Amino acid sequence: MLRDSTYDEQPNTSLEQIRYPDIQKILDDAVEGQDIGAHGAFWRQLTRDQFVVKKVFGCSIIFNENGKFNGPRSPLVQILKAPIECPVGRERPQMPVGFPPVAPEKVQTISDWIDAQCPA
Ligand code: HEM
């Protein structure tokens, strides 16, 4: 069967591996490409290796258990869904402050990417 050319325009799906630039794009879109205050758009200039160990205000954004990254337990995933406490004793509002919440399927993409061990 011939493939319709519109298939080429589909966004990243599970058939195609999600990579770090896809995550950077989701986060950039979440703040409409703006330069933000507080911690700034920290993902924009970081390499993948810097991103996976990044702390924001003392909060490790990616949960690492014995060298294995875990999406659902990562504050980066959790804080896009609801307020969290991170690190212990520090209440943080849901992100991104001042912008609409990130769509659940995009948050899931970030979680899946982390579970896949954050391919560059
Ligand atoms: C675990 C990761 C993160 C932590 C701990 C964190 C923490 C914070 C804190 C404490 C503030 C200041 C809140 C306030 O002013 O009341 C803030 C502001 C903000 N954060 Fe986050 N954040 C995280 C991730 C993110 C992500 C991934 C995004 C974007 C998708 C984001 C977007 C923003 C924006 C837009 C603001 C407002 C900046 C401004 O005032 O101009 N944050 N964040």
pLDDT in tens, 43-93: 999 999 999 999 999 999 999 999 999 999 999 999 999 999 999 999 999
Domain-embedded: residue 13: no
6-to-2, 3, 11, 80, 85 alpha-carbon distances in Å: 12, 8, 11, 31, 43
For the chain, the domain total comes to 1
* Mutational pocket test of ligand 1: of 26, 29, 39, the residue with most ligand atoms within 8 Å of the beta carbon: 39
Q: Are strands 63-65 and 59-60 parallel, antiparallel or unpaired?
A: unpaired
Domain-embedded: residue 80: yes
Domain-embedded: residue 3: no
Domain-embedded: residue 78: yes
Tokens at 69, concatenated: 């990254």
Nearest CA to ligand 1 atom 41: 37
Q: What is the pLDDT of residues 86-98, one digit of tens each?
A: 999 999 999 999 9
Domain-embedded: residue 109: yes
Domain-embedded: residue 6: no
- Please report where in the chains the tokens 């609801």 appear, as a residue: 82
Nearest CA to ligand 1 atom 36: 97
Q: What is the pLDDT of residues 14-30, one digit of tens each?
A: 558 999 999 999 999 99
77 contact partners, CB below 8 Å, separation of at least 6 = 71, 107, 110, 111, 114
Q: How far is it, in rounded angstroms, from Cα 40 to Cα 36?
A: 5
Domain-embedded: residue 70: yes
| Full domain range(s) for residue 58 | 18-115
The structure's pTM equals 0.91
Domain-embedded: residue 86: yes
